[in-house]
Every structure is written in C-alpha cells, then in structure tokens.
Amino acid sequence: MEVQSITFPEGITLQCGEKVAPLRVAHQTYGTLSPKRDNVIVICHAFTGDQYVASPHPVTGKPGWWSRMVGPGLPIDTDRFFVICTNVLGGCMGTTGPTSERAGTGRPWGKDFPPVTMHDIVAAQVKLIDHFGIDRLFAVIGGSMGGMQVLTWATDYPDRVFAAMPIATSPFQSAQNIAFNEVSRQAIYGDPNWHGGDYQAHGVIPARGLAVARMVGHITYLSEEALTRKFGREIRPGTVPSSGDPLSALPFGGMFQVESYLRYQGSNFTRRFDAHSYLTISRAMDFFDLGSEHEGNLSAAFRGVKTRFCVVSFSSDWLFPTSRSRTLVRAINQAGGHVSFVEIDSDRGHDAFLLEEPDFDRTIRGFLNGMARQAGLPAGECDNAV
C-alpha cells in the first residue's frame, strides 16, 4: 500500500528537547490548491483517527471517518477547498511514531519514542504546510483531540490561520479525562504480551490490553441514551460460554449486546493501532492545557489572535461537555477575539461530531461560507448568501 508522505531528513526537535530524525509526515489531500494557495483547510484528526478523512481506510477498508462531511458539494466542499489531513506525530499510519524505524538501529522506536505534545504534533503539520509553499490556512477544523490541535494551531501560529473550528473539544484535559486515559494505559501495561514495552522484539502485540483500552474509550464517546437506544439490555441470541476465552465465560450463560459490541470495537481496533502510539498520543492529550502555559490565564493564550473561531459543542457530550466550550469562548472574548459558539442539540454523546447531525452540517457549511466571503475567496456554488 502506498502512503502519501513527505520525509524531512532534518527531522524535528521536540518540546522535550529530543530530536526525531528523519521525520515523515503522512497525509491525504482532497480538492485542488488554488493558484493563490488561499483555499487550504487543514483537518486535524481525533485520538485514534488518521489521515483517511474522506477516502477508504487501507487496513479496514471502511469509508473515511468524515466522508459524510468532506467531499465535492459536502459541507467541507472539496470542489472549493484544498483539504489536507495528516497523520499525527507519534501515530501509526505512516507519520513518524513508535512503529517507525529508528535511524541507525534497524529497529522501531518502540518504547523509546520520546514524549510528544500538541505543539510538536502541530509543528510537524507546519513542516508539511511549509513544504507545500502554503503561507496561510483558510481554516483549521478538528473534533475532540483534533480540536486541541486546532487551538494549538491558532495560538502558536496566529498569523497563519484565518478561521478555526474547534469541535467537541476542550482547552485542557480534565482530571476525569486523564483518569479514563490512565485506565486505558494500565490495561495495556497489564497485558502479558506487553513485555515491559518490548513486545515488538517478542513478535507479539498486547492486543487484549489495547482492546480494553479501546473499550474504555468507546464508552466515553457515547451517551447513556445512545447506548440504551442501541443495545438496551438485550442479550445476544445463541451466546453460550465458550471454553478458552475467559472473558466470554459469563456465569449466566449469555452475552449482552453491549458487551459484544465493545468486544468487537476492541478487537477491531488492535488490527489498525499500535499500543505505543496509543500511549504516546494519550499522553500528549493529557498534558494539553493551553492556560497553564500562560500562568493559568487561558485568555492570555488568545491575546492578539485575529483568527475567527467557531466553537461547537454537543449537548450530550460528557467527555468534553459544553461547559468546557463555554470556558474557551469566554477566554477568547476576554482577549477581545472573534468567536461564534453553537451547542448542537444531540443525544448521541461525544461521537455526535462524526455522525449525521443536520444542524451541525449547516453550521460548518455556513461558517465556512461566511468566512470565505470575509477572506475574499470566490463564492462557491452552494454559497447560500444571507
């Protein structure tokens, strides 16, 4: 399988002081770059996402994770905009990360891959943008951890981002967010195949631990209502305890649909994700706190930032609840910035940003149209002027 990527031999010096070289940045692009290079939208993917935002995933064969949002005539219209999505630094879909070979060793980085931060993740994207000769992005859009990258883009490179949409996100990881991540990490560490982090040398992967990590994550992405609607208390027909798999040997001889679903999500995940990448990226999220870099004053991070923000939250999201978006909006206002804010009414939890939500689609399309007018971009065909 061919992965679109650019390799930077000089590498990148991380915030922790360590250097990763060479640096490979894997990405997908959609649409056409305008002659003025002013129609660029960078989409930042979430924790376990990847660059295949609108094209089939090479491993699972599933449609791109935002293919209902990104494409010709869709809210993020590739007839009009040039969309770039990169795999994050530390990821495992082609960008340099723990599964990449460490130069001069003939072996993957593995547990020795240095810790990365949101700043590092965005800095790697900046290298790619520079390589393309793009000076200023029309917009940066991302949900969940993608939203953290959006905020980092706008505050680290304020002159290079015209508009920004942080979606279902937060300006910091809360204690609860970190706690859930820690449970996931402990599941990985506790796997017998973990081998102190040297599982690659043993030719195995800590699949059980990684699957449990994913299961925990998945619960936090859904609302109680969504889980109830999807599965209720239904028991899967024909489930009997099988020998061999201790988790399926239930004392009552049946398996709830929700259990079956989580196991499926868990085991599927291990086919496409590396445990070290999981740890690296979850750590990058946990250490994200925009305010802490300004003596706890979040609004200071937005001082002088001219980027136009559209903050979006979902009413039933309990991972990054609306209150966190409000904190963000207040901080931007306190800094005298430009911000729109919408809470989309949905009962589907955090994951709603990936699902069919007509109000959300309209919000993205409308905001981008409005911003395109302000930026002086040519009007799109579906540009519904007010």
Q: Is 362 in the site for other proteins (CB under 8 A)?
A: yes
Q: Does 314 bind other proteins (CB under 8 A)?
A: no
Is 198 one of the annotated binding-site residues? no
Q: Which residues contact 78 (CB under 8 A, 6 or more apart)?
A: 30, 31, 54, 70, 71, 72
Residues of 280-291 as b/e, b for ≥16 C-beta within 10 angstroms? bbbbbbbbbbbb
Q: Which segments within 133-240 are labelled E, that is strand?
A: 137-143, 161-167
Active site includes 350?
A: yes
Per the document, the length of the chain is 386
- CB 137, CB 160: distance < 8 Å: yes
Nearer residue to other proteins within complex by CB, 58 or 370: 370
Residue 205 C-alpha from the chain's centroid: 23
Pick one of 340, 347, 375, 380: the residue that binds other proteins (CB under 8 A).
340
Residue 273 identity (one-letter amino acid): F
Considering the complex, state which of residue 47 and residue 367 has its C-beta at the smaller distance from other proteins.
367
Tell me whether residue 238 or residue 358 sits nearer to other proteins (CB atom). Answer: 358
Choices 29-37, 81-89, 272-280, 367-375 (CB under 8 A): range interacting with other proteins:
367-375
Establish if 335 lies at the interface with other proteins (CB under 8 A). Answer: yes
Q: Is 361 annotated as a binding residue?
A: no
Residue numbers 280-309 binding other proteins by CB under 8 A: 308
C-alpha to C-alpha distance for 161 and 140, rounded to whole angstroms: 7
381 lies in the binding site for other proteins (CB under 8 A): no
Is 299 a catalytic site residue?
no
Ranges of beta strands (E only) in the chain are 5-8, 12-13, 19-20, 23-30, 40-44, 70-71, 76-77, 82-86, 101-102, 107-108, 137-143, 161-167, 308-314, 338-344
Among 45, 208, 263, 365, binds other proteins (CB under 8 A): 365
Position of tokens 């609302």?
Answer: 223
The answer to whether 313 is a known catalytic residue is: no
Q: Is 195 in the site for other proteins (CB under 8 A)?
A: no
Exactly one of 144, 184, 299, 325 is catalytic; which is it?
Answer: 144
Nearer to other proteins by Cβ, of 122 and 342: the residue is: 342
CA 130 to chain centre: 22
Residue 371 in the binding site for other proteins (CB under 8 A): yes
Check 184, 317, 325, 346 and give the catalytic one.
Answer: 317
Judged by beta carbon, residue 10 or residue 345, the one nearer other proteins is 345
Residue 208 CA to residue 193 CA, distance in Å, equals 9
Give the angle subtended at the CA of 172 by the CAs of 168 and 177, to the nearest 5°. Answer: 75
Binding segment (CB under 8 A) for other proteins, from list 139-147, 167-175, 240-248, 325-333: 325-333
**Catalytic positions:** 144, 317, 350
Binding-site residue positions for substrate: 214, 351
* Residues forming the site for other proteins (CB under 8 A): 308, 310, 326, 329-330, 333-336, 338-345, 359, 362-363, 365-367, 369-371, 373, 384, 386
